[in-house]
Every structure is written in structure tokens, then in C-alpha cells.
Amino acid sequence: MPPFEGHRVVQREEPDMPIEVGKDTSKTRKTLSAGGSTVAYYSIPAAEEAGLGTFSKLPASLKVVLENMLRFEDGGRTVSTDDIKAFSEWADKGGQNPREIAYRPARVLMQDFTGVPAVVDLAAMRDGIKALGGDAEKINPLVPVDLVIDHSVMIDEFGNPRAFQMNVDREYERNMERYQFLKWGQTAFENFRVVPPGTGICHQVNLEYLAQTVWTDKDQNGEEVAYPDTLVGTDSHTTMINGVAVLGWGVGGIEAEAAMLGQPISMLIPEVVGFKLTGAMVEGTTGTDLVLKVVEMLRKHGVVGKFVEFYGDGLDNLPLAQRATIANMAPEYGATCGFFPIDGETLRYLEQTGRDKDRIELVEAYAKENGLWRDADYDPVYTSTLHLDMGDIVPAISGPKRPQDYVALDQAAGAFDNVVADYRGVDMSDDAQDMAAEGPIATKPAVYAKSGKVEGEDYELKDGSVVIASITSCTNTSNPYVMIGAGLVARKANELGLNRKPWVKTSLAPGSQVVTEYLEAAGLQDDLDAIGFDLVGYGCTTCIGNSGPLQPEISKSIADNDLIAVSVLSGNRNFEGRISPDVRANYLASPPLVVAYALAGDMNIDMANDPIAQTPDGKDVYLKDLWPSDAEIAELVEKVVTREAFQEKYADVFKGDEKWQAVEVSGGETYDWPPQSTYIQNPPYFQGMSKDPGTIADIKDARVLALLGDMITTDHISPAGSFKAESPAGKYLTERQVAPRDFNSYGSRRGNHEVMMRGTFANIRIKNEMLDGVEGGYTKGPDGEQTSIYDASMAYQEDGTPLVVVGGIEYGAGSSRDWAAKGTNLLGVKAVIAESFERIHRSNLVGMGVVPFEFTGGDTRKTLNLTGEETFTITGLSEDLKPLAVLPCTITYPDGTTKDIELKCRIDTEVEIDYVANGGVLHYVLRNLAKS
């Protein structure tokens, strides 16, 4: 990997803090010769010899964290000997010892949707530190940061050879302000690089190029040190990199910014769930089918806040690209990460993808010397275990609105009947159907399902019509086995004269240019083009909600007839309101199945057993007629996926095309905020900030801004997709003469807090239980009348009324987006009270000074009969607050009666108490840097 020229990239808390500190480092620092050189490293076996504990039975994923403790042990200032010994106690206690530790990742990965607001924050911090009398240059990344622009391209054009170039042109037209700002950041900040648009998706670029598995760098004495490659990323699917044995996970931008600036990540030593894989995949199944089953199993097991590590002899039959698919979807099963230890397949993949051969030798030698290598005897201690025989995997999809909603393919059509029935409010129980059979109302889907004509077309749409079929997302486009498989399905379809149904919007958006290289080398891109899967861009597209508009007549038919339209995508997210405002049911599927559903055009078809299409001469075609054999796929993968292809496509990865090179930028230590910009605005977080922190205040007589249900995702809280002119965000832009066609998306507007706070809780499918059956970002204002959440918030804040949000289980699931917490903060919300929180969002709330609370004692919004008309008073915050404290709360109902309950304060660590007292983690860092 090209170095960060001119900048040392050793992790350190302060510029003058050497890597080798602490009284025990001399005992654990050893040397290793490999790849033609000798390097120092911190030895886990040496730590055992030094009497620090017994570590041989730790999972490899936890050994990576232990090495981090050894390397940064500093006598207790941030890492102590007791922290190291706690890992030995973890193994002795059967995989549990939730001690707070300070962890420092080696690098940070960003994408542009989350990266732009992060750079906005850094720019604002430079202004803030100058206002406090400090040096702006202190706001500078101390660890390497790579930002990949991948979230901005939309599918405006599809199904023709011009699609790619037209979408790229439109992307630059929409996003020039953002790209100029990122180019300024690249010149203003050290250790910060930008991968230009049109290169690929950040996680796939990371997997195929940036990651090294074992990193090397010079310490302050000039000696080369080897250590595990680790990172955090401002995208929840950063976890993909665990497939190549790089420990990484998603954090919010605010936590990533703190890590960039040298602040260690405060975390508890996690539990590690072992997932044993045995056997091998059977003919006709894909890595996607495997991961959907894994997601279902781990969601049921419960792994939020835990590491998952995969082991077992089944790994010998699992190519690394399929491991990466499983690791990618760790947010979907709720884990911090899904880790695969280093083994021979890791080395094979590093070789295939063009990594330096000396580096590959070092990876093998380091892993074996430091106990990170998986061999036949690998059998560590785990907190708990699961087992899956891969021979039991069957073709499957997942939907209609959660990744864990696993459906075997041969049951998918029947399951969709139930989806329609639920939406229509029809009871599908046997008793209900028996009763209906005797009366005038039939309950069968064929009777109550809806349909409607499409103006100007010779076809009808109906409930279940597939209107989007998208091969997209790093999750699957990083796997050549499923991509070649999709191409072969297209080839066989093309040979039979089949084509996509005319109402299906098809797209192919690979995660890297290498995919195009091998599809073209195999001659498969022509076949994909022939049935509508032309290249539309290199980026997240449909998976992030950038599916682009449907044909207006199709959109109108869906709306006029209240149809349950369907999307099928090879992505990782299918939450409500995410993929397209026209689509209610979204299904995750393998790329070959995406092609098949485009040919069928209908979710009601039994894809496993019924004909999915007809040839021009009327012959029925079944899925089995199109599906390639494993041998066909493997032969082509071996032939066209080459080391040379990866080396060629990544040779100038930071250079970009002519459009990127032509982006003009003006330099400067601080950013000259353009007042007319609707994309980039100076946020208010640090304006008027004092040099000293305050204290955490009790919450008194807070009103409820929103009363929400279970599985409220960060997409519900802070949507990424499009929005309408009549929304608060749309009105803001319209008032500034921005036409609706130029609104772009919420995700692209994350550098402007005015847009984003108006978009908070504004998902078109969110349901506030304070209102009866209303969808969208609405609530009751101070006068009791229905209004937008934004307008209600402004009215309450003008009156000085604190606000709370109440939710159910798994609050904040999904993406790592920090704006779900930032927007909550800017709306005046002091606390979120829920039954449980997903890991990243809880951390983000704390990082923005919003206190997360969990109900205790079986209390829920339902058992407490909450309507949203109540007020909440929470005390004990202003006293000697301890992590995970249980605090008293008084609920006052509208009739004046009260109920006292206890809430668990999910400020989990001591340093998080400091964060909240400062108003957030960035305020904490800024004050400390200003003082120094």
C-alpha cells in the first residue's frame, strides 16, 4: 500500500508519546524475521512467560485486542498491567470479564455520507480551538484516515450503454460543493486521503487493497514494528474486513473523529460467541444463502455488543470472498464484528489481490509466532457457541423489511401472501379462513390483492410486482463466485431469448472496477447488458437508498392503486422506506437470484418450482434451466479473477478521473464557510463553548417528542434517501431557491445541520404511537395538535421544555450514522428511553451528550400505558454518577397521577460520564487539546 508520504503513522496519544512505553514492554517486545526484513513486535507468548497471565486459549479476535494493550501499556495512564491480566481472567471465567479498556485502532475508514460531516466537525473544531486560544494545527488526524467517495452516485439512468457516464455526470453536478470541501480537507489535514468517485465501495476497496492484515510502521526510535491491522470506520459494514482477519467495526463519525485525534476508544472486554461451521455448501447454493441463515441464527441467539468468531473445519471449504460476505453483515446480526482468523485461505486471498509478497510472508510468520493462526487444533474458549452444517443451506431470500427475516426460496411466494395480508389487515389464520368461506368475504390473496394499469403501457402492476432488481453493495459484489454466477444466469437467459420484465428497473453497481474487469474478461458483461443489467456506477446505489426514480407512470400506478411493490437487491439492508419511496417490500438475495427475479418480475411466483418466464416461442423456463453449476462458476473464477487485474485497477487508486482532477479547491488552515452553501455549513456544536465542562443535569418535566415501537433503526431516525418539497427539509431548500430535482438526498446533505435536523425522525415509514396510524415524521406539538417533529421541537425549545424519546427493543439498529444522534441532540432531546439499544447508536447518543436509558423490571411503554402525553423527571444524574447506574424516574400522567420507576442509565464507562458532562466526546477532546 502506498505510504502516507512524509507523515509517521504510529498510533500515539500525543505526538511525543513513543509506542514502547510502560514497565512491561521490554518483557513482551521481541523481534521477528520474515519477508526479507526483521521487525519488532509485541509477543503474547512473551507476556505469558512474564507472568501476566495465560492467553493461549483466547480467541484470535480477542488476542488482537490484547496485543493492543501490550503495545500501549503505559503504567496505568490509559492501559495498565491489570488490563492485560484481565484477558487471562476472561478465559478463566469462561469468556466473561467486562472490564473497561482503552483501545486504539491503527487507522480509520470513512465514506462520503458519513465522512463529509466528520470533516465538517474537524473544520468546526479548528474554529473552536482558535476561539479557546488554542492552535488549529492540533486538530489533525494522528492515525491514517482513508475516505472513499461511494455513497453519492444515484441510478438516474439504467438499462443502456450511456447509464454509467450519465450517472457520473449527474453525480458531479449534484455534489460539486461536497467534493470541493473534501479536496480542501485532503490538503488541510495530514494523514488524510480521499479515494475519488467512481472507484468503488469503501469496504470492497478496503478488502481488496487498503487492508494488510499485519501492519508495519516505524516507532519514534526509527525501529520497524509489526502489529495487527485494525480499524474503525464511519460505516456499520466496516466489519467486512474481518473476513481477511483485520479487526474492525463501525462507529459513529463522532467516535471516529475522537479516535483520529488520538483519543482511545473506551470499551468493555467483549464476550466472544464462537460460530462453528462444518461441512461444505451443496450444489446450487451461494454464499448469500449461507449468510442469510447465519444472520437469522445469530439474531435469535443475541449477540449485540459481542464479538462473533467463526471457526471449525468448514472454513477449509469457505473461500475468503464468502467469509467477507458473512463478516460484512455483522450489523445485521447485531454483533460488533464477525471475525475469521488468519489461515492459508487468508494468504491465498492476499496473493490473489496483489498484496506484496514480502508482506504475505510477514502475515504468516507473525500470525504463527503470536498465536493468531488457525490450524486443525484451533479450539479456543468462547462465551457461547453455535453450530451450522453448511451442507444444510438451501437457496433463500430475506425480507420484506429486516435482514433477519429469512425465507427459504421455495416458501417465498407463500410468505409474500402473508405480507400482503398483513398490510391489508386480513386475518390469514385457519379459523378466519374457515369463517370467511361461509360468508361473502374471501381471504385468499388473489381476491384481496390489488392491481392497476400503467398509463401508456400494455401491462398491469399488482401487489408483488418486482419494480427494482439491483446487483449492488459490497456485501455480494466483492464475491466473484456470485457475480460470475449472475453473469452465467444472464448468459443462459440471453441464449433463450429472455429479457427483464418491462416494469423492472435493473442495475449493476459493483463495489470495485475489478468486477467489471473480470466480467468483461469472461464475456459476461455483454450478457448482463442484454437483459438490462448495464453498469450504472461504482458505489452503494440501491443499498443505501440511491435507487433513483422509477418511471413516472409506474410510480403513479403504485401510488394510485396503493400497491405493495417489491425490490430485490443483493445488498445488506432492506429496512422500511430505505430502498425507494415507491416500494414497500424489499428482499435481499444473491446476485444470480436478482437476475432471476428481474426475468420473473413477480414475487408471487414460486421461483423454486414454477416457470419463471417463457421463451419467445412460448416454452416455459424454470430457474434450474438458468442456474449454472458450481464447476462452471469455479472454472471461470479461476480463469478471469487474477492478481494482475487487482494490481492494474488499484495502481492509481487516489488519482481519479479527469472530472476529479478538475475539481478546484482553495487551501487554508481553517475552512472559509460559504454562507450560500446548502451542502456545507458550520455546525453549532462548538460555538460559544467555555473552556471548562459543566455537569450532567437532572431531567425535569420533560415532554415526549416521539413514542416509538420496536426495531426503530437509524434509517427511521435519520433517513439517507430522497425527500419531498413539502417536508421540513424540502421547505428549507425551496426557500433557498433549490429546485426539487436538485434536492439530492439526506445522505448527501449531511454537511448541513439545518437540513439534517429537519430530517431527523422524518422517515416516511416511521410511526409515532402518539398519533393514530399516521406514518412519517409527525408528532403533537405543545398545543396538542399534529405537526412535524421538527416544528414541535422548535416550539418546545423556544419554551425551554426538555424532551425525551421513548422506544422499544433494539432501538437504533442498522447503520452507524452519527446524524441519528446529532439530529436527536439538535432537536432538544435530553434522553432516549428504550427497552434495549443497538451498540453503535447507544455510543453515538453518549458521544452527542444525549443520555440513553433502559427500562427495568419488565416495564415497557405498553405496560406503563404511555400515550406520549406524560412528563418525565429523572434524577441522580447530577450527583456522583457511576457507569450503568439505576436511577429513579417519575412519570406524571395527563390526569395528574404519577408512577415511580427505575431506569438503567446506559452511560457504560467512566470516560463516557466525562463525555456527557462535556456535552459530547468532541467537546471533551477539544477542551483537552486547547488546554495542552
Q: What band does 720 get if pLDDT is binned at 50, 70 and 90?
A: confident
For the segment 10-25, the average pLDDT, to the nearest whole number, is 38
| Mean pLDDT along residues 652-659 | 90
| Mean pLDDT, residues 617-641 taken together | 96
What is the grid cell recorded at 20?
514502547
Sole residue written with cell 422506506: 577
Buried b (16+ CB within 10 A) or exposed e, 296-308: bbbbebebbbbbb
Mean pLDDT, residues 440-448 taken together:
48
Give per-residue burial for 162-174: e unless 16+ CB within 10 Å, then b. Answer: ebbebbbebbbeb
Q: How far is CA 270 from CA 63, 255, 383, 687, in A?
A: 12, 18, 9, 37
**pLDDT for position 22:** 37
Q: What is the pLDDT of residue 17?
A: 35
pLDDT grade, residue 174 (50/70/90)?
confident
Q: What is the pLDDT of residues 18-46, one digit of tens each?
A: 333 333 456 899 999 998 899 999 999 99
Q: Give 154's pLDDT tier (boundaries 50, 70, 90).
A: confident
> Is residue 792 within 8 Å of residue 829, measured between CB atoms?
no
Which segments of 561-690 does DSSP mark as H helices, in order? Answer: 591-600, 623-626, 630-640, 643-649, 658-661
Residues forming a β-bridge with 397? 407
Cα torsion 202, 208, 210, 215 to 10°: value is 140
- The whole-angstrom separation of Cα 487 and Cα 474 is 17
What residues have CB less than 8 Å from 270, skipping those under 6 apart? Answer: 62, 98, 305, 306, 307, 336
Distance CA 384, CA 275 (A): 9
Give the C-alpha separation, 319 to 346, whole Å. 9
Q: How far apart are CA 796 and CA 821, in angstroms?
A: 19
Long-range contacts of 656-659 (CB under 8 A, 24+ apart): 656/196, 656/197, 656/198, 656/199, 657/196, 657/198, 659/168, 659/172, 659/197
Q: Which three cell numbers stand for residue 100?
A: 473497561
Question: Would you tell me how many other CB atoms lie within 10 Å of the CB of residue 876?
Answer: 18
Structure confidence by residue, pLDDT tens digits, 294-319:
999 999 999 988 999 999 999 999 99
Domains of the chain (ranges, CATH numbers): 399-645 (3.30.499.10), 699-718+760-931 (3.20.19.10)
Least confident interval from 49-63, 115-129, 434-448, 524-538:
434-448
User: What is the C-alpha separation between 341 and 228, in angstroms, rounded?
Assistant: 12
Report residue 259 CA to chain centroid gap.
18
Model confidence at 8, pLDDT cuts 50, 70, 90, reads: very low
Does residue 355 have a pLDDT over 90?
Answer: yes
Q: What is the distance between the alpha carbons of residues 511 and 244, in angstroms, rounded to a whole number?
A: 17
Residue 763 — pLDDT band, cuts 50, 70, 90? Answer: very high
The neighbouring-strand residues paired with 852 are: 832
Residue 364 CA to its chain's centroid (Å): 30
Per cent of the chain over pLDDT 90 is: 75
- 3-class DSSP assignment, residue 103: strand
Provide the pLDDT confidence category of residue 668 given band limits of 50, 70 and 90.
confident
Q: Read off the pLDDT of each residue in 748-768 and give the average, rounded to a whole number.
A: 94
- In the block, residue with C-alpha cell 481488496: 208
Question: Given a cut of 50, is residue 828 above it in pLDDT?
Answer: yes
Q: Specify the pTM.
A: 0.85
Distances (CA, A) of 200 to 158, 205, 478, 808: 18, 6, 10, 37
CA-to-CA dists, residue 287 to 23, 281, 390, 472, 492, angstroms: 47, 8, 10, 15, 21
pLDDT digits (tens, 9 = 90+) for 583-611: 999 999 999 999 999 999 999 999 999 99
Higher pLDDT, 445 or 601: 601
CB neighbour list of residue 469: distance below 8 Å, 6 or more residues apart: 500, 504, 505, 506, 507, 567, 568, 569, 594, 595, 597, 598
Q: Provide the pLDDT for residue 12.
A: 37
Cell of 429: 389464520
Crossing angle of helices 320-328 and 344-352, rounded to 10°:
100
Q: What DSSP assignment string belongs to 265-312?
A: EEEEPPPEEEEEEES-PPTT--HHHHHHHHHHHHHHH--TT-EEEEES
Q: How many whole angstroms separate alpha carbon 656 and alpha carbon 172?
A: 13
Q: What is the mean pLDDT of residues 396-408?
A: 92
At residue 776, the pLDDT reads 93
- The Cα–Cα gap between 432 and 803 comes to 43
Q: Which of 572-581, 806-815, 892-901 has the lowest mean pLDDT?
A: 572-581
Least confident of 86-95, 108-117, 199-208, 439-448: 439-448
CB atoms near residue 736 (< 10 Å): 11
Q: What values do phi and psi take at 773, rounded to 5?
A: 75, 10
Q: First vs last Cα of the chain: how many Å apart?
A: 34
Instruction: Give the pLDDT confidence of 259-283 residue by residue, as tens digits.
Output: 888 889 888 999 999 999 999 999 9
Tell me the HSE value of 170 on the side-chain side, using a 13 A CA sphere.
20
Per-residue pLDDT band for 438 (boundaries 50, 70, 90) equals very low
Q: Is the pLDDT of residue 439 over 50?
A: no
CB 693 within 8 A of CB 919: yes
The x, y and z cell numbers of residue 585, run together, are: 417490500
If you average pLDDT over every residue of the chain, what do you get?
A: 91
Pairing of strands 898-905, 851-855: antiparallel
Mean pLDDT in residue range 788-815: 95
Residue 932 C-alpha cell reads as 495542552
What is the predicted pLDDT for the residue at 434?
52
**What one-letter code names the amino acid at 248?**
G
408 by Cβ neighbours in 10 Å (0-12 / 13-18 / 19+) ranks as middle
Question: In sequence order, what are the residues at sequence separation of 6 or more whose Cβ sits closer than 8 angstroms to the Cβ of residue 140?
Answer: 189, 190, 191, 261
The pLDDT of residue 188: 92
Question: What are the pLDDT digits (tens) for 556-573?
Answer: 999 999 999 999 999 888
User: Mean of the pLDDT values across residues 214-223?
Assistant: 89
Q: Which of 97-106, 359-368, 449-458 has the highest mean pLDDT?
A: 359-368
pLDDT of residue 448: 62
Instruction: Write out the three cell numbers for 295.
Output: 444472520
Question: pLDDT tens, 109-152?
Answer: 999 888 888 899 999 999 999 999 889 988 999 899 999 998 88
| Single-letter residue type at 383 | T
pLDDT for 665: 84
pLDDT at site 706? 98
The closest of 838, 665, 815 to 303, measured between CA atoms, is 838
Give the pLDDT confidence score for residue 113 in this predicted structure.
85
Strands 192-195 and 145-148: parallel
Q: Residue 360: what pLDDT?
A: 97
Q: pLDDT digits over 447-500, tens only?
A: 567 999 999 999 999 999 999 999 988 888 889 999 999 999 999 999 999 999
By three-state DSSP, how is residue 726 classified? coil
Mean pLDDT, residues 216-235:
92
pLDDT of residue 85: 96
pLDDT of 431 reads 53
Sign of CA dihedral 530, 536, 537, 543: negative
The single-letter code of the amino acid at 228 is P
